[in-house]
């Protein structure tokens, strides 16, 4: 057995991330029981303790005593927050009144220009 295979054999299997195939490889766990473990995990939002395996139909106290040495419960890694693209992170431009150049060469907002004739009338 190679060193990598030995390390893999000794590593504890995380119940919150294990695939049905990985669970099936555990002693006494077949494909049906592996499916029940995954179903239990999905319904409950993950395992919090290894002892929760006892609540699954088909896992006896004796089987649990053997499994508890080969499995562990670690929380699933939190998903990374979605990155915003750079343009969404730029500062918004302030709203400005639309401007037009009047004959004398001054810049005046549209509202001001609209109000001026009304004031002179």
- pLDDT tens readout for residues 75-101: 766 666 666 665 555 666 666 555 555
Domain 11-72 matching CATH 1.10.150.320: the answer reads yes
pLDDT band at 60, cuts 50/70/90?
very high
Residue 14, judged by CB atoms within 10 A of its CB (0-12, 13-18, 19+), counts as middle
Annotated domain spans of the chain: 11-72
Query: pLDDT, tens digit, for every residue of 3-19?
Result: 655 555 568 999 999 99
Interval 22-58: pLDDT, tens? 999 999 999 999 999 999 999 999 999 999 999 999 9
Tell me which residue of 105, 27, 8 sits closest to 68, measured CA to CA.
27
Between strands 71-72 and 13-14, the pairing is parallel
Sign for the pseudo-dihedral over CA of 35, 41, 44, 45: negative
């Amino acid at each position: 057995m190679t060193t990598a295979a030995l390390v893999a054999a000794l590593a504890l299997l995380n119940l919150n991330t294990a695939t049905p195939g990985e669970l099936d490889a555990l002693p006494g766990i077949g494909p049906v029981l592996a499916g029940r473990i995954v179903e239990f995990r999905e319904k409950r939002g993950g395992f919090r303790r290894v002892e929760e395996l006892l609540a699954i139909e088909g896992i006896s106290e004796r089987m649990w005593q053997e499994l508890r040495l080969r499995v562990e419960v670690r929380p699933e890694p939190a998903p990374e927050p979605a990155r915003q693209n750079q343009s969404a992170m730029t500062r918004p431009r302030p709203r400005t009144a639309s401007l037009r150049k009047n004959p004398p060469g001054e810049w005046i907002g549209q509202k001001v220009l609209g109000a001026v004739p009304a004031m002179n009338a």
